[in-house]
């Protein structure tokens, strides 16, 4: 770091803007994020999942003895990291990713995609749903990257 200061004619020890270490800055950002001072997802431009989708999610009562659930008995929920126990309420999205129901609902109240593969689910935003159907969606952005 001393090379940076000498290359830019800055006295590192007397610089009035150099009063926080990198660790202190990172720690303050983490604290602000945890306190909800800023939301990193707030500017994604995507609405959350629809209330109807959330309300109508099928409940799967997890049973490790059930052959349909056998592939998940040694897995952990990708959201909370806890294993599935008998009679846990779960849900499997259309993309076949499996979660605790409450974990997934919490996620989908902020996002409209699968936490693993980002496959979209239904939203309450007609404009967003219409944009998803547009075959030219995103082509302008890709084209402009190469111009």
Higher-confidence residue: 40 or 6?
6
Alpha helices by DSSP H, listed for the chain, are 2-7, 22-34, 51-55, 101-108, 126-133, 139-145
What pLDDT shows up at residue 33?
58
Residue 35: pLDDT above 60? no
| Burial class of residue 19 (count of CB atoms within 10 Å of its CB; 0-12, 13-18, 19+) | exposed
Q: What is the pTM of this model?
A: 0.62
In the chain, residues under CATH classification 3.30.40.10 are 51-145
What pLDDT shows up at residue 18?
54
Domain 51-145 has CATH 3.30.40.10: yes
pLDDT tens string 54-108: 999 999 999 999 999 888 989 999 999 999 999 999 999 999 999 999 999 999 9
The DSSP letter of residue 66 is S
Averaged confidence pLDDT in the chain:
78
Higher-confidence residue: 42 or 113?
113
| From 24-38, 46-60, 97-111, 121-135, the region with the lowest mean pLDDT | 24-38
């Amino acid at each position: 770091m001393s090379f940076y200061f000498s290359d830019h004619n800055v006295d590192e020890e007397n610089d009035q803007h150099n009063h926080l270490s990198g660790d202190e800055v990172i720690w303050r950002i983490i604290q602000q994020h945890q306190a909800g001072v800023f939301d990193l997802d707030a500017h994604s431009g995507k609405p959350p999942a629809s209330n109807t989708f959330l309300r109508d999610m099928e409940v799967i009562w997890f049973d490790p003895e059930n052959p349909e659930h056998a592939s998940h008995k040694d897995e952990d929920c990708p959201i909370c990291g806890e294993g599935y126990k008998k009679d846990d309420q779960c849900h499997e999205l259309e993309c076949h990713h499996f979660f605790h129901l409450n974990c997934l609902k919490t996620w989908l109240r902020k996002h409209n995609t699968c936490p693993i593969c980002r496959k979209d689910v239904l939203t309450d935003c007609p404009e967003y749903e219409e944009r998803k159907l547009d075959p030219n969606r995103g082509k302008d952005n890709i084209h402009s990257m190469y111009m």
